[in-house]
Structure 1
Amino acid sequence: MHNETNRTTYIQNQADRIILHLLMQAMIREKAYPYDLLPNGAAFPIGKAALEVEITHTYRLGQLDIARVQYVEGEDVQEITDPLQVLGLFLPTDDPFYIEVKNSVRNLALALTASEERNQEVEQEAEALGVSDVFSYVLQKKSKMFSPLTFFEQLVIQGHTIHPCARTRIGLSEKEARLYAPEWGGTPAVIPVAVHKQLFRETLMEGKTVKEILFAEYPEVEKAFLSEINHPDDYALIPVHPWQWKHTIVKDYQADIEAGRIKRVKGADIATAALISFRSLAPLNNQWKHHIKTAVNIQMTSAVRTVSAASTYNGPMLSRFFKDLLESDEALRSHLSTMKEPAAIHYQPSTGVEDVHFFQKNLAAIVRENPEHALGDEEVAIPGASLLAPSPVSGKTIAEEASERAGSPRSFIRRYAEALLPGVLHLLGEYGIAMEAHLQNAVVVFKGGHPLRTILRDHGGIRVLEKRLAEHFGDVPIDASTNLLTDDTEELLDIFTHSVLHNHLGEIIVQLARKTGCAEDGLWAEVEKVIKETAVRLSEEAREDIQRILHRPARMKALVQMRLKNEVTENRYVDMPNPFTKESEVRGR
């Protein structure tokens, strides 16, 4: 009992420390509240007192190593180890952001507990297999009944790398987290729901509907559907997360359920595995069936993770566009591909219903291509976020293991940048498309522990420069209500610097610098070389964009500012040092 109490306390302290660091780093980088610079840190004035943050190192993009946080009032000094103590100095305890951070700490502690338990199992199995790193482990395990992608996705513990609400899940209980969350190895049984033809809108990439795709992959669903549903041709199928069915559908769609316009297809739930985002699900123990993006009325980080009607339209439309684009551009195709979304569907309420958007987005789904179905022998697909996770085989981070295989962190970053950047920069410069290629959306194909190419998923956060794209393709059918279209080139560059530099390469580079002691400058130098080598192969207009990336401030989304101001759909950015210029020279404090 004593050891269990010590373990629980240790994990809670670890969660407090991680979220406290993310909170203080964000408050300083975003200037969320006024502060004064100190010789070795920053001080936030609070009346006659101050919240002092001791900083031991600042990295090229402005990330911080923080030694301690103290509340200083005259000669009275109190060390702060709990992020809620900090927020309590600025916000009431019923403020939404305070509640969200509190929830984030609780869920991170749960995730750390899950990680400890799962890693022990893998460590024992790896020892029995005689393997020394996670790459060897998954190749030994790889089979039709084992998905390396799912394995890597479920290793991610912290969630968002620069947001203190990294593990916020408002509305999810501890019991439900253990059932459904990826870090617990969650296996949600997705519920097939029949929806009458008068109450749905569906968009197809080419021809097959959601119902047809799922019937082909799950014959038991088709059998149950045809058995239970009278006039089955009059109904579509929407896959629903079990949490969503229990907490939202049966309550808010009650009239349609009672009238038989919405029907649960019983006895044919679809076995899935939760991926990083929680709501996106892979087929359980399978590498070829489609992934399913479901709607869950749960707030994670700053947004409630439903599926908008616009997303169900844009997904298949953009998938068709990217398919045609990649087929016509061999240079782009050699570096990058996207996960197609062949069909998407949402509930469409009857006329006269209030809050139409609520009903549309809470009963909706997108069917997404499985990236593992087309991999070559010994290739594995790994989301970028997994590289920051501890390897259950060695205890090192997966990025460290990859660096050892490459010979050095510098060699690894070079190869990783070559796998990630050419395709993303090509899309941005030539076609005016900025992909949100952050750690979660970028799935990198590795072979022998070495990165080869990138597969991008989720079109929701991209930006498209209309005038540039029109030069090549004319009009591309896009529902603009989700702010995908822009006439501002700077907005494209903002998406790139935030998602690719701050929320991808920058986090891997800082972790490697911290863990291995390698020089951060050398890692950024390799990234810069890849960017410049890519620029040579592109048009003059694209090279101008890349020059801007190399010299303008590396703007970052002010995620805490946006949360404090309750800005969910409109992005707010702050200028940060550019890692490729002398002005961003690292300052040891």
Structure 2
Amino acid sequence: MNDATAHLKAEAWTSETRRLLAKALGEFAHERLLEPEEAEWGYLVQGRRLTWTFSARRLPLDHWDVDPESVTCLLDEEPQPLEAGVFFADFAEALGMSDEVLQVYLEEVAATVNRGVWQRSRRQPTAAELARADFQTVEAAMTAGHPCFVAGSGRIGWSVEDYAAYAPEAGEAVPLVWVALDRTHALFSSTEGTQEETIADLAAGDWPWLRERLAALRLSLEDVVVLPVHPWQWRHKIATGFAAEIAFGRVRYLGEGTAEHQAQQSIRTFFNRSKPTAPYVKTAMSVLNMGFMRGLSTDYMAVTPAINDFVAELVHSDDTLRKTGVRVLREHSAAGYWHPVYTEVAPKGSPYRKFLAALWRESPVEQTSEGEQLATMASLLHVDGEGNSLAAEHIRRSGQAPGEWLRSYLDAYLVPLLHCLYKYGLCFMPHGENVILVLDEGRVDRVFMKDIGEEIGFLNGVTALPEDVGRTAHEVDDWEVPLTILTDVVDCFLRFLSAILDREDVLSAEAFWTVVGDVVRDYQAAHPELEERFERWDLLTETFRLSCLNRLQLRDNTSMVDLENQSDSLQYAGELDNPLVSRSGAGRS
């Protein structure tokens, strides 16, 4: 067996530690957990025992663009080795971490640094190469993770061998394990028809083999529900925690399928490499990653297809949205198993109710034309080993002026989000991993939205919902509604894209935010019928509340928020100046 730790060299570890500490200093300053003091050489923050210094550019939205090479650690003015664990131990009290949270967080931080070292130990595509690369090459090349979360790749529960086999950045072919479930405790839900009618398409590449396995066991799809399982989940959770179900034949192991799948950035979702037009498969995977155990709820699966169909019909039938080209990737089929004991004793939302479930999501490949390029929106924040950004490469390739390119991107991405919110009260979780771009020679033509069943919400009764979509209804205060754009889009994504383009002298931060503000104002001007909602849910207010993601993870890194009531779980730290509004005081016009 190859040495799975061969990449761990001191120089590489220190280099990746610098990147993580730069992110930590920047984001913790942004969230007002740390208050850097100006110094002759830049900035400093004083820990319990050590002094940490760095240089940074200050940009709109109180963004700290920290230079990783500038980060130093001093004890009595003497330089010390840079160690991420030492940093978090030094600031544990300032960051509000309990002893229990700190221990887990240190493991998550070590895993996050390790991810970076491992990935950079392999030859990585340049930004210029990625600008012309295929969908899955881009997916596997992402290095940064979520732009806000510092400990973003914990994946607690994986061994080093699991990492090499299943990490998205490994880009390996993964066969899925298939099981047959007794219908007494199983669920199959689909808007595509019955299981018998749809399973051949859902199991693309595995269907001939699966049909043979069922025949060998004298089973048919009238007897059982068949379900794909992540190989890790089978070995570590199902084969042990469901041992009684296996012993009595209620869960039957069918074996590993023959189709090749590739893990996506969300780690538990797979792209079908054997048949790219086939549906994605999202599986349960009970590893702790970025604040949650990444299981999948059978309870949720029952109405997931109905929710997706309702959202897709609404989006695809709206004239304004049709003009943008936006499409919803439907999660049209789902399956799961209610363990008879765990389901009885585990409270709602418990990881023990999320061990064995899966869903199937439409592939964007079947909805694109020859010559069009697919890429995760997260790739717009990707910077290669030479410091060149993929966003800048796309701009150069497009032949558009930077502001014109940005406008095309925002017309494709931001305008649909604005219209869904103000017309229907519909909000998405539109971060980089949840949006897929369709590019034409570097220009963003349109986008796909995904992760619908668990992430969308209909706010404050704007849209009447059928009963099976009712769980997506939420009542929130009016001031919270615009944060679905101002926090999730402006602060948690565009803030970073602006900093990258400004750093490379492609587009200044001032020019960037002028374009974004113009897109909002132009959309509002085009829809006077929604004027009352524009005033009620004001995107062009002078300031807005700063919602802090790292504070959530630092408070509780095993269950960051209550998924049943996310609004009450959020943490705020003062106000941010709104970059969509000029400081002269001009707001909505």
In structure 2, distance between residues paired with 1:490 and 1:450: 34
Stretches of structure 2 that go unaligned for 5 or more consecutive residues are: 563-568
Q: Does the 8 Å contact 1:424/1:434 carry over to 2? A: yes
Partner of 2:396: 404
Match of 1:360 among 344, 348, 353: 353
Partner of 1:204: 190
Q: Does the 8 Å contact 1:115/1:183 carry over to 2? A: no
**TM superposition shift of 1:498:** 2.2
Secondary structure at the counterpart of residue 548 of structure 1: coil
Match of 1:369 among 356, 362, 371: 362
**TM superposition shift of 1:350:** 2.2
Secondary structure at the counterpart of residue 431 of structure 2: coil
Match of 1:218 among 202, 206, 228: 206
Match of 2:514 among 503, 511, 525: 525
The change in CA–CA distance for 1:190 and 1:556 in structure 2 (over 3 A counts) is: farther
Partner of 1:572: 571
In structure 2, distance between residues paired with 1:220 and 1:305: 30
Aligned residue type for 1:498: T
Secondary structure at the counterpart of residue 138 of structure 2: helix
Q: Does the 8 Å contact 1:348/1:359 carry over to 2? A: no
**TM superposition shift of 1:583:** 5.0
Alpha-carbon displacement from aligned partner over 1:291-314 (angstroms, at most 9, x marks no partner): 001111111111111112354245
In structure 1, distance between residues paired with 2:519 and 2:286: 41
| Aligned 1:148-167 pairs, distance under 5 A | 148-167=134-153
Partner of 2:315: 326
In structure 2, distance between residues paired with 1:395 and 1:39: 26
| Aligned 1:305-344 pairs, distance under 5 A | 305-335=294-324, 336-344=326-334
Aligned residue type for 1:309: T
Over the aligned positions, Cα root-mean-square deviation in angstroms equals 3.1
Alpha-carbon displacement from aligned partner over 1:444-485 (angstroms, at most 9, x marks no partner): 111111101111000223231141112xxx4453363xx762
In structure 2, distance between residues paired with 1:285 and 1:395: 34
**Does 2:461 align with 1:461?**
no
Aligned residue type for 1:82: E
Secondary structure at the counterpart of residue 516 of structure 1: coil
Aligned residue type for 1:573: Y
Aligned residue type for 1:396: N
Secondary structure at the counterpart of residue 297 of structure 1: coil
**TM superposition shift of 1:180:** 0.7
Match of 1:350 among 340, 346, 360: 340
Structure number having the greater helix percentage: 1
Q: Does the 8 Å contact 1:512/1:518 carry over to 2? A: yes
Partner of 1:83: 84
The change in CA–CA distance for 1:345 and 1:214 in structure 2 (over 3 A counts) is: same
Deviates more, 1:166-175 or 1:569-578: 569-578
Partner of 1:141: none
The change in CA–CA distance for 1:21 and 1:191 in structure 2 (over 3 A counts) is: same
The change in CA–CA distance for 1:79 and 1:582 in structure 2 (over 3 A counts) is: farther
Aligned residue type for 1:355: A
Partner of 2:109: 104
In structure 2, distance between residues paired with 1:149 and 1:30: 34
The change in CA–CA distance for 1:83 and 1:429 in structure 2 (over 3 A counts) is: same
Aligned residue type for 1:462: I
Secondary structure at the counterpart of residue 455 of structure 1: strand
**TM superposition shift of 1:571:** 2.5
In structure 1, distance between residues paired with 2:474 and 2:534: 21
**Does 2:556 align with 1:562?**
no
**TM superposition shift of 1:52:** 4.8
In structure 2, distance between residues paired with 1:51 and 1:571: 31
**TM superposition shift of 1:65:** 2.5
**TM superposition shift of 1:506:** 1.9
The change in CA–CA distance for 1:216 and 1:133 in structure 2 (over 3 A counts) is: closer
In structure 1, distance between residues paired with 2:543 and 2:256: 56
Secondary structure at the counterpart of residue 276 of structure 1: coil
Deviates more, 1:233-242 or 1:490-499: 490-499
In structure 2, distance between residues paired with 1:417 and 1:206: 33
**Identity between Structure 1 and Structure 2 (%):** 21
**TM superposition shift of 1:26:** 2.5
**Does 2:53 align with 1:15?**
no
Aligned residue type for 1:11: A
Q: Does the 8 Å contact 1:100/1:170 carry over to 2? A: no
Deviates more, 1:356-365 or 1:520-529: 356-365
The change in CA–CA distance for 1:573 and 1:318 in structure 2 (over 3 A counts) is: farther
Secondary structure at the counterpart of residue 179 of structure 1: helix
In structure 2, distance between residues paired with 1:234 and 1:530: 54
Alpha-carbon displacement from aligned partner over 1:30-74 (angstroms, at most 9, x marks no partner): 2236x4754677665556x6745444321112221335456667x
**TM superposition shift of 1:12:** 1.1
The change in CA–CA distance for 1:584 and 1:446 in structure 2 (over 3 A counts) is: farther
Alpha-carbon displacement from aligned partner over 1:396-416 (angstroms, at most 9, x marks no partner): 321111121244433322221
Alpha-carbon displacement from aligned partner over 1:399-437 (angstroms, at most 9, x marks no partner): 111121244433322221111111111000100011111
TM-score, normalised with respect to structure 1: 0.85
Q: Does the 8 Å contact 1:347/1:359 carry over to 2? A: no
The change in CA–CA distance for 1:371 and 1:6 in structure 2 (over 3 A counts) is: closer
TM-score, normalised with respect to structure 2: 0.85
Match of 2:530 among 521, 536, 540: 540
In structure 1, distance between residues paired with 2:515 and 2:88: 39
The change in CA–CA distance for 1:532 and 1:314 in structure 2 (over 3 A counts) is: farther
Partner of 1:478: 469
In structure 2, distance between residues paired with 1:312 and 1:584: 50
Deviates more, 1:165-174 or 1:352-361: 352-361
Secondary structure at the counterpart of residue 334 of structure 1: helix
State how many pairs are aligned: 554
**TM superposition shift of 1:441:** 0.6
In structure 2, distance between residues paired with 1:364 and 1:97: 31
| Aligned 1:174-193 pairs, distance under 5 A | 174-193=160-179
**Does 2:541 align with 1:551?**
yes
Aligned residue type for 1:379: E
Partner of 2:32: 31
In structure 2, distance between residues paired with 1:306 and 1:5: 31
In structure 2, distance between residues paired with 1:186 and 1:5: 19
Stretches of structure 1 that go unaligned for 5 or more consecutive residues are: 127-131, 139-147
Secondary structure at the counterpart of residue 579 of structure 1: coil
The change in CA–CA distance for 1:310 and 1:573 in structure 2 (over 3 A counts) is: farther
Secondary structure at the counterpart of residue 549 of structure 1: coil
Q: Does the 8 Å contact 2:233/2:284 carry over to 1? A: yes
Partner of 1:251: 240
Secondary structure at the counterpart of residue 469 of structure 2: coil
Partner of 2:565: none
Secondary structure at the counterpart of residue 289 of structure 1: coil
Match of 2:479 among 490, 493, 501: 490
Alpha-carbon displacement from aligned partner over 1:267-293 (angstroms, at most 9, x marks no partner): 535420111111110001432000001
| Aligned 1:265-280 pairs, distance under 5 A | 265-266=254-255, 268-280=257-269
